[in-house]
Structure 1
Amino acid sequence: MNTTFIKHINRPSLRDQVYQSLKAAIVMLQMEPGQRLNDNELATQFGVSRTPVREALKRLEDEGLVESIPGSLTRVTPLNIEEAQHAFPVVAALHALAARLAVPQVKEADIAELEKWNDSLYDALEQKDVMKAIEADDGFHEVFLHIAGNREIYIALERVVPKIRRLEFARFGSLEGLDSFEQHKKIITAMKNSQSQTAAELVEENWLSLGRLLTEDTI
């Protein structure tokens, strides 16, 4: 089992730290889909008892990132195209809502931030740097979430985004074209013109089009 990403954890909040570390490793594909998980081995690697590891694995199972087969094994859940297809419209709708709430409050500094992240996205896509592309895309949409300031949107996204994030890491680098960059430019224009509905619709389509590209073929 590949455990090179694991660092020894110090108190406090062992359970949360184990959970966050495992979740990041799974989402970023450092732990591969279908990889077996052994709580004894993980506890040793983390330098903790089995209890926080088991609690973290149970939490990840509730979120659909880990699955237990009774009498057999615990493993990282394999990539599920159908699940991602169901998740993308939810993610798209939540981000569209954030955009709709954000437009009336947008400032020039926010527009500059959007343009900065979109330029970073363009550069990352040109370089085929998956990590930086996803980071830049997240940064772009985080601007809307921050302006909207709606905690419930954050909570909902935190639960559903991991269902699509692994697929992004698996396939983002194989996508052709710069559609997201161009779509973002249209979103920025709508923001500048205080067009709440248009911005929301463009944001929603931005996520839905990414979903179509990522789920069009079976992995």
Structure 2
Amino acid sequence: MPIPQNAPAIDRRLLRDDVYHRLRDAIVDGTLAPGEQLRDIDLAGWLGVSRTPVREALLRLAEAGLVAAQPGRSTTVSSLSERAVHEARDVVAAMQQLAVRESVGNLTPDDLDAMRQANTRFRAAVDAGDIEAALLADDELHDVCVRVASNRALAAVLDQYTPVLRRAERLRFSSVAGAASADRHDDLIAALADRDGDRAAQIAATVWTTLPTTPPDAPQD
């Protein structure tokens, strides 16, 4: 897919993280497709920034496995390989377990209500086949524990590796498996409400480790 021509420009005062997040989201949602060549000058023009933050963002995206950089040649959007999804899945599952364990004693009734409301939106989105809304609601649900845990290292690891899974989860939430995720969310919230950290952590791991690791046409490596 060609670089879009009608995206709103980023305010030049914003930090380089905004460029990274815009490019990351464009890869996750398929705006920038697997195999597409990424030229920093084109991306800079699209986002309305200089080439420097774009280059920095591409380096970060390469570290996350979302782009493949060949020095002196080209940078392209990575394919969604089984190995990349499997590795990211295990890391994210471990971090989400940690977030649950570190937050379970500090979650307020409002936090739990926020998770329930997010799961209600998640279930409705899955039923309606609205993948974007399902992913957004899923993020909101899990982000409650991450926020309450207040562990910056944990949050940084999730920020790096969760986008790899989000590309694969588009397949999951468009199937009956999405409904099973909503049921696991209910179980997770109930365990958190009971302050049962061990059970909640086990459920959190199940939520993430049941994610399929073999997208259609994914290279096996």
Q: Is TM > 0.5 for Structure 1 vs Structure 2?
A: yes
Whether the aligned pair in 1 keeps the contact of 2:20 and 2:58 (CA below 8 Å) is yes
2:11 matched residue in structure 1 = 10
The 3 A distance-change label for structure 1 pair 13 and 198 is: same
What is the rounded CA distance, in whole Å, between the counterparts of 2:107 and 2:52 in structure 1? 46
Alpha-carbon offset, residue 202 of structure 1: 0.7
Whether the aligned pair in 1 keeps the contact of 2:34 and 2:78 (CA below 8 Å) is yes
SS at match of 1:104: coil
Alpha-carbon offset, residue 71 of structure 1: 5.2
2:94 matched residue in structure 1 = 93
1:176 matched residue in structure 2 = 176
Query: 1:50-77 deviations in whole A, cap 9, x for unaligned?
Result: 3333232223223221112355432111
The 3 A distance-change label for structure 1 pair 11 and 206 is: same
Alpha-carbon offset, residue 175 of structure 1: 2.0
Whether the aligned pair in 1 keeps the contact of 2:3 and 2:46 (CA below 8 Å) is no
1:207 matched residue in structure 2 = 208
What is the rounded CA distance, in whole Å, between the counterparts of 1:196 and 1:185 in structure 2? 15
Whether the aligned pair in 1 keeps the contact of 2:81 and 2:214 (CA below 8 Å) is no
1:106 matched residue in structure 2 = 107
What is the rounded CA distance, in whole Å, between the counterparts of 2:182 and 2:55 in structure 1? 41
Alpha-carbon offset, residue 217 of structure 1: 5.5
Whether the aligned pair in 2 keeps the contact of 1:124 and 1:132 (CA below 8 Å) is yes
Aligned letter for 1:175? Answer: S
2:161 matched residue in structure 1 = 160
2:52 matched residue in structure 1 = 51
Whether the aligned pair in 2 keeps the contact of 1:92 and 1:207 (CA below 8 Å) is yes
1:78 matched residue in structure 2 = 79
The 3 A distance-change label for structure 1 pair 182 and 5 is: farther
How many residue pairs end up in the alignment?
A: 216
Query: 1:122-153 deviations in whole A, cap 9, x for unaligned?
Result: 10110010011111111111111122222221
Percent identity of the aligned residues? Answer: 34
TM-score by length of 1: 0.88
What is the rounded CA distance, in whole Å, between the counterparts of 2:6 and 2:90 in structure 1? 32
* RMSD, matched Cα: 2.1
